Each structure stands twice: as C-alpha cells, then as structure tokens.
A and B are shown apart, each in its own frame.
Chain A
Amino acid sequence: MTDAILDETTRKANRPTPLPADRYRPPSDAALALADGRVFRGRAFGAPGTASGEAVFTTTMTGYQEVCTDPSFRGQIVCMTYPLIGNYGVNTEDDESRRPWIAGLVVREHSSQPSNWRSAGTLDAYLKRYDIPAIAGVDTRALTRHIREVGDARAVLFHGAGSMPDEELIERARGAAIPGEHDVVGEVLAADIEVLGPEGGPHVVVVDCGVKRNIVRSLVARGARVTIVPYGTAYGEIAALRPDGVVVSPGPGDPANLNAGLDVVRSVLAAQVPYFGICLGHQLLARAIGAETSKLKFGHRGGNHPVRDRRNGRVTITAQNHSYRVDPETVPTDQDWEVALVNLNDGSVEGLTHHRLPVLSVQFHPEASPGPMDNGVLFDEFLAMISRSQADRAGAA
C-alpha cells in the first residue's frame, strides 16, 4: 500500500513528537546535554566525572570494547544505537589499542552480569578503570534521530547532574571542544617505534595516527614485518627503514589539520613505494594529491555500510568510523586518480586508485574489529602489490 494514506502518515511518523510536559521522568543522576539545547537524563555508570566532546552514534551491534579502544573515537562521546551493551563483558584480547579513547559512552542499558567465556569483567568496571564516564537509561534511539537531524554535536556528559538545570548543562555543552579543534592524533599515537612480525617478511612501515591493533595483526598474520612509527616521523627516517610498503593508519580528528603528514605521503608516492591509506590515511592521501576533505553532517559509524567497487560492480559490507570525507569533485582525475569505490548510501568516496602508482586507499576499515571482515582481502592485495613492486624493481635493476 503505497498511496496517499501511507505517505501522509509516514511523513508524520518521521517527525519527532514533542515530549508531553506531563510525561513521566524517571529519577536520574546523570545527563547528556547537546549544544543545540537537547538534554537526555539517565543513570551514571563508569567513572564519576564529566566528559566533554562531540556526541556521535555508531550502529554496530557488537564490538563495544573495540569501539571504546579505537583511537579514532578520541574526543567523542559515543552513543551505541544497540540498546543492550556489555552483555559479553570485556576481555583481555579485544582492545584495539593500549587503552579506551572515547570521551564518554551513552547506552540504553549496560549489563552488570556479562556472560562469555572470554569475559574478564564488566564494562562498568572497565570504564571506571580508565576514568571514562558513561550514562545509561537514555533513549538512545531518540538521541540518534536527533543527531541525524542536527549533526554530530558538541556535548557534555555529566555525572551528579540530578538537580542541575538544563540551561546550565547546555551552556557547558556549547563550550565543549570537538576533535577537529585539538591535536587528537598527537594525543593517541604511541611515541615509540615498535617492530613486530617475522624477520625476512616484506617490511611494512605503519604510520601511527591512531592505529588499531587489528591492522598490524592483519599484516603480521600475512607474513609482513611491521615497524610502527608515530605520525610526525619525517620521511627521511621512514625511508631509512627501507620499507617495502607504507601504511598510513586511521586516526581521529580533521585531516585538514594534519599538514605534516602530507610530505610523507607525497614522498612515498614519489618513491613509488606501495602505499596503503586507511580512513585518515586515505584522507591524507587525498589531500596530498590536491583533493579536499570536508566534514560529514553526521559521521559514518557502524558495521553495515555498503561499498561498491565501480570497476567490477561488486558490493561489500564495510566497517566505518569517520567524520570527514574526500570531496569527489576535487579528486585530480586528470592526473590518473580515480574514485574506484563509492558508498551506496550517500555516494561518498570510499576508495581511490591511481592508474600507475601502487596505491590502495580506502575510507572504511578493512581490519574490521568491530565489523564485517569482507575486506580483509585488501591486506592480501597490499602484500601482492608489494611483491609486484619488488619484482618490478628487481627487473629494473
């Protein structure tokens, strides 16, 4: 039934109904306030305190521990759209970096009695340990629909907000900084150089802007020797490591702030060393070749984004976590660059290729974790690219 009655009602249904003034409000001791004036009340959990940052949502149904520890979430208060969080606890294996980076967590319900053979404790205890405040009992679907309308928003998450009036909370939210406004990459990267993987494998240098462990694991599992260097490492130092390939990792914040990395990317391309840009690494590649990036109204975060490869029409489901995109019209197609992958939901750029240069560059997360593993094959492709490139060099020599 698709005629007038339906259209009329669904149009209306998509408009939030204002909350009647006399609707019951359960007791609350915590609040999430957004800068545009919307306040959600709930119950405090996690570490006592206040978080301020950018309110975003992710639609991934599993993988909250990976979300917490993904450095790309630095500076963000993350709303899980799936209502039951913490069911399988937290464990010692699923951290994607050395600690959680989210500023705060918003859930409908968190489990105090997790169940899974790997579980080593509750999410609540985990957040407390890392000093991250969280709020439960929130109508997270309402919050998500709100963010969908107003965009990712400045926000504060407040414990002990019981008697605090909305106005005061909103005022504080307006003062919250969002990731693009400070050096979030500098905050998350590891200062030390780390070497992993077998001797003798192809040598991949990973530029850490907020790398996830599964990127490194994915490379090592395929026989690569990986050297992780912090973002900001000069190209000369990287070149001195004699890499067979360079990965520039995902990371938080606005790629437009990261000029220091552009030289590295350009030099890698110039040296024709195989390049693999993931998420932020993809955006930096785009900027390095003269394209521009801009902020999405609300980011892509979740494990269900369809991406089409324009070259063969194949669609894969991808894990995503980004606030910024590459503007397609700015891609220098006249210099043999091509938008090879597109997002089926909004048509945004998901991957770039070059007709001659050994480059892989994707906006999504082939390492998944959390999310679907459809694109793990890209790591194989990258290593294949490295061996082709080595063969070419050997041939040229």
Chain B
Amino acid sequence: MATPTTTSQGPVRSVLVLGSGPIVIGQAAEFDYAGTQACRALREEGIRTILVNSNPATIMTDEDIADAVYIEPLTPDVIRRVIQRERPDGLLPTLGGQTGLNLAVQVARLGILERYGVRLLGTPLEAIERAEDRALFKQLLDKLGEPTVASTIVTTLEEARAFAKEVPLPLVIRPAFTLGGTGGGVAHTPEELDRIVAGGISASPIGQVLLERSLLGWKEIEYEVMRDAADTCITICNMENLDPMGVHTGDSIVVAPSQTLSDREYQMLRSSALRIIRALGIEGGCNVQYALDPHSMDYSVIEVNPRVSRSSALASKATGYPIARMSAKIAIGRRLDELTNAVTGETTAAFEPALDYAVVKIPRWPFDKFARAERTIGTQMKATGEVMAIDRSFEGALQKAVRSLETNAKDLGWEDSTWTDEVIEDLIARPNDLRLWALMAALRRGQTPERLHELSRIDPWFLDKLQGLVDLERRIASDGIDGDLLWTAKRAGFSDAQIGRLSGQSDGRVRALRDRLGMAPVYKMVDTCAGEFAAATPYFYATYEEEDEATPIPGKRALVVGSGPIRIGQGIEFDYCSVQAARALHDAGVASIMVNSNPETVSTDFDASDRLYFEPLDAESVGEILRHETGGDGTGGEVPPVIVQFGGQTAINLAAPLASEGVSIWGSSLDSIDLAEDRYRFEAFLRGLGIPQPPGAAVTSLADAEEVANRIGYPVLVRPSYVLGGRAMEVVYGGDHLARYIRNAASLTPEHPVLVDKYLLGKEVEVDAICDGEAVLIPGVMEHIERAGVHSGDSFAVYPGINLFPAEIETIVDYTTRIALAIGARGLINIQYVIHAGRLYVLEVNPRSSRTVPFMSKATGVPMVKLATGVMLGRSLREQGYEGGLWPRQPLVAVKAPVFSMAKLRGVEVHLGPEMKSTGEVMGIDRSFEPAFFKALLAAGLALPPRGSILLTLADEDKADAVGMIGQLVRMGYKLYATEGTAALIERHGMPVQMVTKRIGRGNPDMLDVILQGTVDGVINTPGPADKEVLDGLQIRRAAVERGIPCITSIDTARAMTDAMASAGSVYTVQPVPAYRRHGFGY
C-alpha cells in the first residue's frame, strides 16, 4: 500500500506487538491467531513489525511472521530492552490478551514508553484503564445512563460484609485485572462470601474486587464491536450463551447469532454497545457483555474487554470477519471504510456481517484428565479449549460441535451408565461440563422442557430443540429409517453412527442407505454477507441442503487433518504443525485442504490454507469431505491424500478408518503407527534391532500384573495401552498400590491390556527427527531436567543435552536413525529415552509430530514441518538441502518450561507425575544454560523473588541431593522455613532454619499457615512415594498455587532453578531468535 500510515500523532514506521505468553486456562490459542493476523496486517502496510512472546509453540513466533521475533519473557525489563534495541514508533498492546494488555499498562506506567518516544497504538491507555478498572467503568456507565448491576468495589472483607447486608445473597465476586476471572465466584452463604472475597482480593494485582447482585437466570449476551479513529462503529457479531448468567462465557455453550432476541432487544443492546465504545474511545476491537432479563427489556452491562479476546476470535470464525487484522490496521490509523472486506474482496470492511447459518461453540474441559477436579462451573473459567460448528440448523451445529469435542461422550446420545434421576437433576441444576448430556438424559426419561427450564433457567427455546432431538431419536428407534426420516436426522446433525446405533445397524449400512438415496452433504461458504455478494473466501462448512458451493479443487491437493480443541496433552503445538504443513504444501504447488473444529486457532483462519472445511474431525465428516473433493464420483479427480501426522492423536485416530476407505495416508504408514502403538509388536521390533527398553509386559489381569511387577521389581510404571498425554499413567511402588490401580482400570481385556514396566530413574532424553526412508535428520537432542517419572510434557527440557556424554549422544543418534528407518517412518518421528546406569533405553516411539517440534524448530532453525511435508511430497532430505545425522549443535541453550493452570482448577493435585498436567509452555533461550533456564522460569512465572522466604518440605530420598541446593539458597540470602525432617537436615548442616510443623492444625504456625499468611514467597515440596504424604502435601501445594507463589515439586527442577538464579540473576541476553544461532555476542 502506498499511502503512508499515520495516526493523529504522526507517522508509524515500526510497531512492537506483544504476545500473550504461554497457553493457560483463560488465554489460549486465540491470541496466536490474533497476533499472527496483526503482524501480517501491519507488514502489508510496509511497517517494520517487532514481536515479543515467550511461547515458542505459536505461528506468530515464526521468524517470517514479523521483521524481528523475540522469544523472551514478557516482563517490563525485557520490553524495555527490546524497545531500546529496536526503537519502535508504536506499541500495540491489545492483541496479546490480558497478559499483553497488563504488560503494556505496566510499561507505560514505568515511563518506559515516554522515555523512548514510543506511542501506545490503538485504544488509548486511558480507555483501557477506564474499561478495566471496575470503579472507573461503573462511573462511566452511570454517566451514560447504561444500567449496571447493584454492585460495589471493596478492598477489605469488612466492606464486603457490609454490602451483603444491603444486597441479598447470592453475590458475584469478580477480582480486578485477573485472567479469565481467576479468583472470582458466586457466594450463597456468608462463609462462602468471606472465603471468595479474601481469595479475590489476593488474586487481584490491585487488591480490588467487585461485588455484585447475582443475575442468575438472566440471559447472557455478547456483542463484538469495532471502532476506528474516525468514530465509525460497527458490530461484528452478537452471541447468546445457552447457559444463563452465572457461568463464565468461556465456560458457556455459545450460539451465534442470538436466537431468542427480537429485533428490538437485539438493537437495544447493539446501540448500547456502540454508545459504550464511543464513550470509552476504543480504537480497534472490543467485547461488551450483557445480562438481559428474560421477562422484560431490562438489561445490565456486565463487562467490557477493550481488546481482542477469545470471544472476538470466536466471532471472527463465526462470521468470517477478521477482527484482529482490522484492529491492527485501525491502530495505525486506517479507517474501516478505506479497508477492504478480505472475504468478499470487493466490499468495504465498514459493514456488519450477516450470517445465514447457526454457530455453536462448546468449551472443552480438562476433567477427563483431572478426576479429582471440581466439575462445577461458574464465574471462574476452567475450559482449556473449545470447539465450534456451523450448520444451517441449530441442531446440526450443536451435534457437530459435540462430535468435535473428542471426549468419551462421542455424541449427544451418550449417558453415564450410573446416572440416577437424582444425579441427573443435580447435573442440570448446577452448571457443569456434563449438563448438556444430562438434559438429554432427562428428556429421554420423560422430563418436560418446562421442568428443565425451572431447574436450569436455560431458555425454553434451546430445551425445546433438545426435546426435538429426543423425539427424533425415538422415531429413528421405533420407526426404522426411511428417506424422509434419514434426511430429517441428517439435517439435525445426527451422525451415521448415532443413527445406526438407534436403528440397530452399523454406520456403514446407514451410509450405504444414504448413498443409495443420493444423500450427501453439500458445502456452503462462510462469506460474511449471507450470499448477497460474490465472495472470494475458501471457508466452508457441511450441511444437508440442495446446492453446493465448494467445487472440488482442481489439480494436486492434499488434506491436512487438524488437531481439534486445545486440551491437556494436545495443545497449540499441533495447530502450529498443521499450519506449517498447509503452507509447505501450498509453497510446493499443492493445494492444501485444512479440516479443523477449533475456532481459536491460526489453522482455521481463512487464509492459512487453500481451502478450509470447518468440520468435526471424525471419520464421517472427513470422509465426506474427501468424497466431495472427488466430485462424489471421481469427476473431481482422485481422492486427495491425507496427512495425519501433524494433528496429534486426533488425526492419528483417523488414519485407520480413512485408510480402510481406500484413502491414501501420507507419511508413516498405518502399519508403522500400529507397530509403535502395539506393545507386543513393538517389543519384538526393538528386540530385532537389539535396542533395549525397560523390562515389562502387557497384562490383562491382576495376577499377571503382580507376577510381572515382582519379577522386574518395584517401582513400576503402569498405564493403559494406547495413551494420549500419559492418561492414567502411574508410578507404582508396591503390591497394594498395584492392586488398586488395576481395580480402577476401566477395562482390562486382551484388546486393552495394561502395561507394566520397570520404572527406571535416570536422565530422560527426547528426540524429534525427520526421516525420508533413507536418511534421518536429527535437529537436536533434548534432555529433561527432571529424571524419568515426570511426563515429558511437564518436564523442563534443555536443548542441547548439556549433561550428555558424546558417547551417549552417539548412541542416541544411532538408535534414532535405526528405529526411524526400520519402523518405516516418513516425515516426523519422536522418540523418548531414559539413560539409567549408563545404558540407553527406549521409552516410547511416536511416528508423528510431537509437542516439542515447534520448540526444536525455533531452537535449531531447522524447518522441521516443512521438511517432513517435503518428504511426504516425495522430496528426499537431500533434495531439500539437508543431510541425515545430527544437525550441528547451535551456539545457544534453549529451555522449555511447562506452564500450569492449577489455580483455576480447584482440587487438582499440583505435584507432577507421569500424568500430564501442563496447559502450555514457554521457552528461555540464551548463550548458556543458567540465563536460559532463568528466563524460562521468569516466563513461566516460576522464578522466586530475588529475596524472601522459602518453605522446604522434602521427601527422604531427596534429602541427600538437596544439601548443596539448600546451602546455595542460604548464601543467596533466603530465609528458610522447613518441616520437621527437612529442618533437622538443615540444622545438621549448620544452616539457619525456622521449623514449622507438618501436622496441619497441630502447630502454630503449621506449614499451611506460613503459605496462606504470605510468610513465604515460594515452596519447594517433593512428595515421597507414600500415599499419605502425597495427600498431606496436596493441601500445601494447592495453597501455594492458589496464593500464586511458585511451587516446585521436583528436586531436579529445584536444583536447576537455584543454580540458574544464583549465577544468572538478571544477566541475560535479549535479542531476536536468529541472533542466538550466530556465533559471538549479541549485544
């Protein structure tokens, strides 16, 4: 674009964009999507773009997304140094979520922006503060005459109690300036009020909480609005929450557009939203949330987010309107009416999308991972991710969304076999992750929608729709299926499998019937304008209608299966890989077809692939897309090959069903995948190669398990076969524990054995490699800081393996090369090893992309996904300019640190083990280990404050290893608190320590008190093997997490942390990623 971009304060030539850091609950992939769009939008305008983010698993931190990419901790000091180095004209703060926004406010307040002449772009600081500060915001709304809920701001418990005397309970508590409403809740009793208010005050960085009248039962409605500096205001989308007020919008089932609002209600709230963003002076995107009385025109403004958000990502995907992109352009002074609607390519961006379909979003909760977590949902968000589905009916969109969730409840037909009427009623009355299924179960048992409305306050419109689905289920079950009923069922989103189950036949037979009747989905475009204008976007969804709009792509093409919702064990890393694969295909002249169901991601951006199908990742949906791309009968060409190795387990699970349909699977063959997953075959395979694995066996009974465990000796690692993210994996120390595990294992059959392996304590090592069938390229070797036993996804990983001997590395390279070649890998392969007593053992082989691929790509500069995609396209590594073997070690150290969302999940054990618990990751990169590790801690929020007090409570077997570390902590000036045994150890070594008792409630203070009272600033707690201790420890670990202080549960992490902090301090480098790969100093 030739026009110079100028804000009212002068030209903008370079812009600093802040990312949102690691994925945590409340702040997920949507900010990679937003930041990536923003960087692209700025560079289109000829602006030098500088990005800072600590999360390597993002597309935005790819070196070609911005002119300078910094993977550094998001702290004021880092930002100051980046500004000093880059001297940007402006800072764009509204695209990095609450993290980016808070950091920008901090940096501005510290005077850093002023000192270097950096302007805050987009929404002014004053507007941000007015929207974020509850008191200022309420003042503004009062001035505008916009109704708000009876509420007050308090900073003490006494003030809260006084308010509760005037306004009846229940009261909602919302702390100021926290992520995803952390620390909030609804108080029904005075006791709950005390507890939640105290928690909220401590969670809020400004010690402020809002108390307000509960609007339980009111409708919750959101508007996504935009405004430019010329005061043009538009709404992109409105959304209605199926769950009425009381459930965080991130935890609500959301429908777009609103379904039960008349035009008068719709426009009343729209006008209000525009008045508010005008009054605030927002320049960019903004989200306004309302409560609407279901029995009158009364409404209340609940909240404003003066930035792009999860909701704006959802609205972008629901409408096709790229909110983040437009926000970035507005920030540098562009006007909406001079920007083009990128979807139609013709009309202006100053318009409001019209939808001609319904969109349903359902959150994805982590309760399948955290059996102990409290499943009730409320004002504190607990979902890690979400799915979205589009259809021409609400029922279709809802059922497709359910099928996209990939939980045990594969579809709406699922019920827990233990549910009684009472349980169902309770699940309906109290919001929780199973409520949707409970509603269906209740209707099946003859409850009326009216009764369910009384229990849940969910709008009758939605309940009647569910009743309609139950009626359809009954008809399918009793009448058998004919053409009309099948058509009706498909239009209501029933899968072939559901219909088959209801009518007593296989899904294959249902499909055969559909084929005979000529009943296949058509694909319609998401075009922002309800078909009014011709559009140039390749964004489609399936529906059972008359006319198709997605003519098969001519020429060469391949389909990339995405990874679905973000969940623990399958995070943004796989979306990163999918996006890279699509781009690599495109660059090779092969049209990329992306299928995914996650609205938060870059992969579902309409320009991330040549064609996007927003569909569930199940065999039926992907199969229909493939058939469709052949023109139904092959007239559109061959069936496109399918790439499953980048979409995590979701995609891998589709390999077998698709292959059985004759679809060609690119990359490692189905047989290679099976070989790696089938315990019996895998054992024989490694034996054949002469490569050791820990002794063990697959068992199908308790007696077998005991026999194996006794033979190989405790401790043993037990897990079900076919696992994802280490689900239900445990280290077992004795016979009782083993018996308990086996009893709890859901099913023990020859098809689903349990694996019992010797648990080898040692250095854990992980390798990602690319294999073309002849050569194996190993970009690098990662060493885990924690010895085996902590899930690799939860471990600190270091590149290069700094404690590995050359001979060990040689063996790793040798084993990796031989395994990759022998297993027949094509593309990526991930292998985990443990070095025990000087010997290398294979723990696991995955012939697919792993979650460390983005980290390793960034650390080593090897474009791993691109090379792997090239291999699948038939180009050898050599043809792509690479050789086999270990890639030269880079002159840097990169540390991957896990990030947890424990504070959001009440009841969840913090202690790490073989079960994965982290939601995200950060990278610390520097010239040597200590500063790299220190930066990783800083970015993960695990760094201890430079001075203060630390509570130590260590397991007996860790004590010997801990003495050096304790000495270091003392030398660094920390005051130590410790429980009985640990304190005795410290005293024995002549160091000062304050003893606190382990026995909670039996001493003054006890170990819980010193955490809750804020006496200590960090906790190092390593639980021993005995269960009792684990349970005792749970309380203090929870307390630390909820108090927001670092809590380290592995002695290895604690030692590395102490070393890093002692020697690195604040002496770390800040420079763009590629600079680390060059020799010499970066200053």
Contact = CB atoms under 8 A, between A and B. Distances in A.
A9 B611 contact: yes
A5 B586 contact: yes
Contacts of B261: 62, 88, 116
B518 A22 contact: yes
Given A13-B549, A84-B358, A315-B232, A148 B262 contact: no
B607 A2 contact: yes
Interface string B636-654: 0000000000000000000
A88 B518 contact: no
Contacts of B591: 5, 9
Chain A interface main SS type: loop
B607 A115 contact: no
A115 B459 contact: yes
A317 B267 contact: no
A91 B263 CA distance: 12
Contacts of A303: 352, 354
Contacts of A144: 356, 530-532
A148 B533 contact: yes
Interface in B455-487: 459-461, 464, 483-484, 487
A344 B350 CA distance: 8
Interface string B549-566: 111011100000000000
B294 interface: yes
A40 B354 CA distance: 23
B985 interface: no
B484 to A, nearest CB: 6
Chain B interface main SS type: loop
Contacts of A304: 351-354, 529
Given A81-B531, A306-B351, A142 B460 contact: no
Interface stretch (B124-132, B534-542, B1013-1021, B1042-1050): B534-542
Given A8-B554, A84-B393, A144-B530, A16 B547 contact: yes
Given A10-B537, A115-B464, A144-B531, A26 B483 contact: yes
Nearest to A64: B263
B309 to A, nearest CB: 22
A117 B296 contact: yes
13 contacts: A1-B607, A9-B538, A10-B536, A13-B538, A23-B520, A24-B483, A24-B517, A81-B531, A83-B357, A88-B261, A91-B262, A115-B460, A141-B531
B814 interface: no
B354 A81 contact: yes
Contacts of A26: 483-484, 487-488
A369 B548 contact: no
Contacts of A8: 553-554
Given A2-B607, A9-B591, A374-B274, A14 B535 contact: yes
Q: 10 tightest CB-CB pairs across the interface, nearest first?
A: A63-B263, A142-B547, A115-B461, A139-B546, A370-B263, A81-B530, A59-B354, A304-B352, A62-B263, A144-B531
A148 B517 contact: no
B336 interface: yes
Contacts of B151: none
Contact of A372 (B258, B270, B358): B270
Interface in A1-45: 1-2, 5-10, 12-17, 19-20, 22-24, 26-27, 40
Contacts of A129: none
Interface in B265-282: 266-267, 270-271, 274
A111 B232 CA distance: 36
Nearest to A8: B554
A368 B352 CA distance: 15
A59 B348 CA distance: 17
B271 to A, nearest CB: 5
A17 B547 contact: yes
Interface in B645-665: none
B231 interface: yes
Nearest to B391: A83
Nearest to A16: B547
Contact of B546 (A19, A109, A302): A19
Contacts, number: 235
A19 B547 contact: yes
A84 B367 CA distance: 34
B259 A59 contact: no
Contact of A83 (B264, B358, B547): B358
Contact of A141 (B295, B351, B524): B524
A311 interface: no
Interface in A99-120: 108-109, 111, 113-118
Chain A interface category by residue count = 35 or more
Contacts of B234: 306, 317
B669 interface: no
Nearest to B551: A12
A385 B144 CA distance: 26
A258 B353 CA distance: 35
A113 B263 contact: no
A123 to B, nearest CB: 12
B337 A308 contact: yes
A115 B260 contact: yes
A383 B354 CA distance: 33
Contact of B266 (A62, A111, A345): A62
Contacts of B295: 117
Contacts of B530: 59, 81-82, 141, 144, 302
Contacts of B815: none
Contacts of B330: none
B701 interface: no
Interface-centre pick from A13, A65, A139, A140 (highest chain B CB count, 10 A): A13
A87 interface: yes
Interface-centre pick from B231, B351, B547, B591 (highest chain A CB count, 10 A): B547
B610 interface: yes
A220 interface: no
B352 A317 contact: yes
B613 to A, nearest CB: 12
Interface string A181-205: 0000000000000000000000000
Given A10-B538, A59-B354, A308-B337, A88 B262 contact: yes
A84 B534 contact: no
A282 interface: no
A53 to B, nearest CB: 20
Interface in B760-775: none
A296 B307 CA distance: 40
Given A9-B610, A145-B531, A145-B547, A368 B267 contact: yes
B901 interface: no
Contact of B267 (A7, A59, A370): A370
A93 B264 CA distance: 10
A305 interface: yes
A244 interface: no
Contacts of A24: 483, 487, 517-519
B53 interface: no
A373 interface: yes
Contacts of B611: 9
B267 A372 contact: yes
B525 interface: yes
A313 interface: yes
Interface string B489-528: 0000000000000000000000000000111101011000
A371 interface: yes
Nearest to A369: B263
A61 interface: yes
A145 B348 CA distance: 20
B532 A141 contact: no
A109 B263 contact: no
B392 interface: yes
Contacts of A115: 260, 459-461, 464
Nearest to A7: B536
A12 B554 contact: yes
Nearest to B537: A10
A5 B610 contact: yes
Contact of B264 (A1, A22, A61, A94): A94
